[in-house]
């Protein structure tokens, strides 16, 4: 880690004691720096605009504007910032709403310090970070409901890309594996999202698994 800039984090939660605990967890890692804290949604957006963090760690239920709404704003306006939801809630509607809004990860507040740190690092690297409980719920939801619109079969190359994404590889790493450019990988992912009616990398991976197109061995996902 020596010589590498720290991962810059904006932390938003309406409970000061909770924020203090999460900040303490994160800053036990020398490679993570909390650059701002917010106690409601609009303040979180202001902090993200001002500091342009690598990762925004958001609670779902906050005054004036929810973490889901903040996530939508980030995806529309600050695409270089990853979003990690850190919540006490594991209700299916919350989970699906925030992943469909474009969050990169969802971890429960019962997680240990190491798991939270690992999740922040995964999101910073462009990976998905799902608590194992959340991953199971997403899989059950997708298996039970399926896409509301017909999906289009992925090409062999698109299957290769989504398989590597499921293993936690970043766009750059996928490009290296397949000897194609980052931009080409991003193009394939955009097409995959369109074909699978997915709003996020995680949703695309989960839907491909639920359709039986890629392996259901997602052991990497809680960390990636």
> Could you tell me if 213 and 109 lie in one domain?
no
Residues 126 and 38 in one domain: yes
pLDDT, residue 197, reads: 83
The pLDDT tens digits of the residues spanning 37-94 come to 999 999 999 999 999 999 999 999 999 999 999 999 998 898 889 999 999 888 777 8
- Classify residue 75: in a domain, yes or no: yes
Q: E strand or H helix at 114, and its extent? A: helix 113-124
The CATH number given to whatever domain includes residue 169 is 1.10.10.10
**Judgement on whether residues 26 and 96 belong to the same structural domain of the protein:** yes
User: How much of the chain exceeds pLDDT 70, in percent?
Assistant: 89
What is residue 144's predicted lDDT score, i.e. its pLDDT? 58
pLDDT value of residue 224 = 32
Query: Does residue 218 have a pLDDT over 60?
Result: no
Would you say residue 80 lies in a domain?
yes
Q: pLDDT of 114-165, one tens digit each?
A: 999 999 998 998 887 887 777 777 766 665 555 456 788 999 999 999 988 8
6-10, 101-105, 134-138: the lowest-pLDDT one: 134-138
Between 224 and 55, the more confident residue is: 55
Does one domain contain both 104 and 205?
no
Query: Could you give the angle at the alpha carbon of 165 between the alpha carbons of 199 and 96, nearest 5°?
Result: 30
With beta carbons less than 8 A apart as the criterion, state whether 131 and 111 touch: yes
Q: How far is it, in rounded angstroms, from Cα 30 to Cα 28?
A: 6
- Do 118 and 204 fall into the same domain? no
Same domain, residue pair 120 and 205 = no
Partners of 10 in the β-ladder:
36, 56
Same domain for 159 and 49: no
pLDDT at position 219 is 41
Domain count of the fold of the chain:
2
135 part of a folded domain: no
Q: Left, alpha or beta for 55 (phi > 0: left; psi -120 to 50: alpha)?
A: beta
**Are residues 115 and 163 both part of a single domain?**
no
Give a yes or no: residue 187 inside a domain: yes
pLDDT score recorded for residue 26: 95
pLDDT tens per residue across span 20-43 = 999 999 999 999 999 999 999 999
Tell me: pLDDT of 168 over 80: no
pLDDT, residue 98, reads 82
Q: How many CB atoms lie within 10 A of CB 40?
A: 18
> Is 169 in the same domain as 108?
no
Is 203 a domain residue?
yes
The CA distance from 86 to 23, in Å, is: 12
- Domain span including residue 199: 142-223
14 lies in a domain? yes
Query: Is 136 contained in some domain?
Result: no
Q: What's the pLDDT score for residue 46?
A: 97
Asked, for residue 151, whether it belongs to a domain, the answer is yes
- For the chain, the average pLDDT equals 85
Q: Same structural domain for residues 59 and 153?
A: no
Same domain membership, residue 94 and residue 199 = no
13 and 124 inside one domain: yes
Confidence class for position 102, pLDDT limits 50, 70, 90:
confident
The helix or strand, by DSSP H or E, that contains position 132, with its residue range, turns out to be: helix 132-145
């Amino acid at each position: 880690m020596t010589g590498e800039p720290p991962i810059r984090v904006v932390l938003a939660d309406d409970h000061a004691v909770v924020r203090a605990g999460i900040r303490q967890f994160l800053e036990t890692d020398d490679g993570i720096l909390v650059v701002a804290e917010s106690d409601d949604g609009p303040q979180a957006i202001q902090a993200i605009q001002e500091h342009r963090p690598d990762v925004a760690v958001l609670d779902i239920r906050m005054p004036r504007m929810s973490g889901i709404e903040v996530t939508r704003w980030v995806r529309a306006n600050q695409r270089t910032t990853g979003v990690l939801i850190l919540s006490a809630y594991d209700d299916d509607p919350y989970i699906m709403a925030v992943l469909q809004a474009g969050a990169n990860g969802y971890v429960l507040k019962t997680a240990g310090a190491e798991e939270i740190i690992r999740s922040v690092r995964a999101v910073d690297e462009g990976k998905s970070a799902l608590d194992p409980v959340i991953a199971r719920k997403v899989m059950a939801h997708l298996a039970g409901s399926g896409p509301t619109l017909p999906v289009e079969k992925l090409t062999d190359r698109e299957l290769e890309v989504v398989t590597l994404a499921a293993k936690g590889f970043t766009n750059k790493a996928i490009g290296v594996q397949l000897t194609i450019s980052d931009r080409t990988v991003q193009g394939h992912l955009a097409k995959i999202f369109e074909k699978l009616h997915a709003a996020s990398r995680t949703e695309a991976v989960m839907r491909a698994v639920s359709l039986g197109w890629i392996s259901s061995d997602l052991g990497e996902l809680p960390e990636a």
